[in-house]
Structure 1
Amino acid sequence: MRLILLGPPGAGKGTQAQHLVKSYAIVQLSTGDMLRAAVKAGTPVGLKAKDIMARGDLVPDEVVVAIVADRISEPDAANGFILDGFPRTVPQAEALERMLAEKGLALDAVVELKVDEKALLHRVETRVREMTARGEALRADDNADALKTRLEAYRSQTAPLAAYYQGKGKLRTIDGMAPIADVGKAIDAVLKTAAGESRSTSAAVR
């Protein structure tokens, strides 16, 4: 099972990814974790990324895709993977598709968690009030203003991926405002359908 989880900050992607990792015996691949691991391992592409980051530059798409390519070739990704934090833009999605095609692979589904942004902001504001009342420390980015900035970045850069994958017939949209367990069941249902469609396509090709 190879998939992408889409959704704005606070949509619950991390929680659902943990459920999917356990249910499908697949790995969750974070772009940041993969970059750090490649740099630490001293792989050719990791060394390239290290030089770029040392200059303070953004790691270009082709380097990130190369790191993803190396990572999904490892044994623990044989059953599949969930991409976390990548792709963020349509050009990155196109580069990912080319890389997977070169490996004879394809995404099974792109699951979008649809949420109400006003409700997300309300959740954060409520959590901040409760944590403050309990005397708990807050993260620097754990506030409504920071979330608004992240939501704006998501809308401008990442939200267009929904239309891109809709055009590819890969997008499955879930109500992310439902209870966590219900969201998990809905994702399981769409993945079961997607898996059936993938098997039918493979049989037709043969």
Structure 2
Amino acid sequence: MLNIVLFGPPGSGKGTQSKLLEERFGLIHLSTGDVCREEIKKATPEGLEAKRLIDGGNFFPDQLAYRIVEKFIDSNSEAKGFVYDGMPRHVGQVPVFAEMLSKRNSKVDIVVELKVEEEELVQRLLKRGETSGRPDDSGRQVIEKRLRIYDDVTAPIAEDYKKAGVYFSVDAMGSMNEVLDRVSVLVEEQLSIKPVYAEVR
């Protein structure tokens, strides 16, 4: 089972690229947020616990998120592999994530960080905010605060994966398909896998 971790700042396109990699290589896109929202929608025991916490204004605990993710992985045990979008989110999650995979005789195969210039990120998020209605894309000040949080909380996970020799960065400036091609070449070279088909349009 292949395990690809894709991460980057808000607006870097990691959600989009994860979905495209899923299609190109026949993997499963595992968005932590989407999986947790689905559990809430289905009113599973984990989903009900999550809803209770969220409704009470509490943070979503790492332990619960991992229980939900483990459940998703185990329900797709025959998968060729996963593209993780949103996990690990901070340095403290890195060893927990590694242990979760190790229990399933697996490991992180490659970690790809999408690099985008800050002003481009701001403009992408402002544009998205015009149509999405998302409050966290509503203005430059809010967006810049989100980018600082990313720099302080999520970006440092790169150091752990650099030490492990599985970290790579990709220039994520340009069109969706240009970025996909760059990531795909890296994945093919490092993991010796071939695409299910060459292009996603």
Misfit runs of 4+, over 6 Å: none
Aligned to 1:176: 172
Equivalent of 2:191 in 175, 195, 200: 195
Residues 44-123 of structure 1 aligned to structure 2 (within 5 Å) = 44-75=45-76, 78-123=79-124
> Would the aligned equivalents of 2:28 and 2:79 in 1 still touch at CA under 8 Å?
no
Equivalent of 1:143 in 133, 139, 146: 139
Tell me the TM-score normalized by structure 1.
0.80
Amino acid at match of 1:195: L
Tell me the TM-score normalized by structure 2.
0.82
- The 1:114–1:51 alpha-carbon spacing in structure 2 relative to 1, beyond 3 Å, is same
Give 1:117 deviation, angstroms: 0.7
Instruction: Return 5+ residue gaps in structure 1 as ranges.
Output: 198-206
- Secondary structure of the 2:108 match is coil
- The 1:138–1:33 alpha-carbon spacing in structure 2 relative to 1, beyond 3 Å, is closer
- The 1:156–1:38 alpha-carbon spacing in structure 2 relative to 1, beyond 3 Å, is same
Higher relative contact order (CA 8 A, sep 6+): 2
Residues 145-160 of structure 1 aligned to structure 2 (within 5 Å) = 145-160=141-156
Give 1:160 deviation, angstroms: 0.2
- The 1:59–1:137 alpha-carbon spacing in structure 2 relative to 1, beyond 3 Å, is closer
- The 1:102–1:23 alpha-carbon spacing in structure 2 relative to 1, beyond 3 Å, is same
Amino acid at match of 2:92: P
C-alpha offsets along residues 86-109 of structure 1, whole Å, 9 cap, x if unaligned?
221011122111111011111221
Give 1:122 deviation, angstroms: 4.3
- The 1:40–1:123 alpha-carbon spacing in structure 2 relative to 1, beyond 3 Å, is closer
Give 1:40 deviation, angstroms: 3.8
Amino acid at match of 2:111: V
Instruction: Return 5+ residue gaps in structure 2 as ranges.
Output: 194-201
Taking the aligned partners of 1:78 and 1:142, their CA distance within structure 2 comes to: 38
Taking the aligned partners of 2:119 and 2:88, their CA distance within structure 1 comes to: 25
- The 1:194–1:116 alpha-carbon spacing in structure 2 relative to 1, beyond 3 Å, is same
Note if 1:185 corresponds to 2:181.
yes
Residues 26-45 of structure 1 aligned to structure 2 (within 5 Å) = 26-45=27-46
> Would the aligned equivalents of 1:62 and 1:95 in 2 still touch at CA under 8 Å?
no
RMSD value, Cα: 2.6
C-alpha offsets along residues 185-205 of structure 1, whole Å, 9 cap, x if unaligned?
1111111122139xxxxxxxx
- Secondary structure of the 1:22 match is helix
> Would the aligned equivalents of 1:27 and 1:77 in 2 still touch at CA under 8 Å?
no
Taking the aligned partners of 1:104 and 1:47, their CA distance within structure 2 comes to: 30
> Between Structure 1 and Structure 2, which shows a larger proportion of helix residues?
1
Give 1:56 deviation, angstroms: 2.6
Taking the aligned partners of 1:43 and 1:146, their CA distance within structure 2 comes to: 34
Higher mean C-alpha deviation, range 170-179 or range 137-146: 137-146
Note if 1:166 corresponds to 2:162.
yes
- Among the aligned pairs, what percent are the same residue? 34
- The 1:43–1:121 alpha-carbon spacing in structure 2 relative to 1, beyond 3 Å, is closer
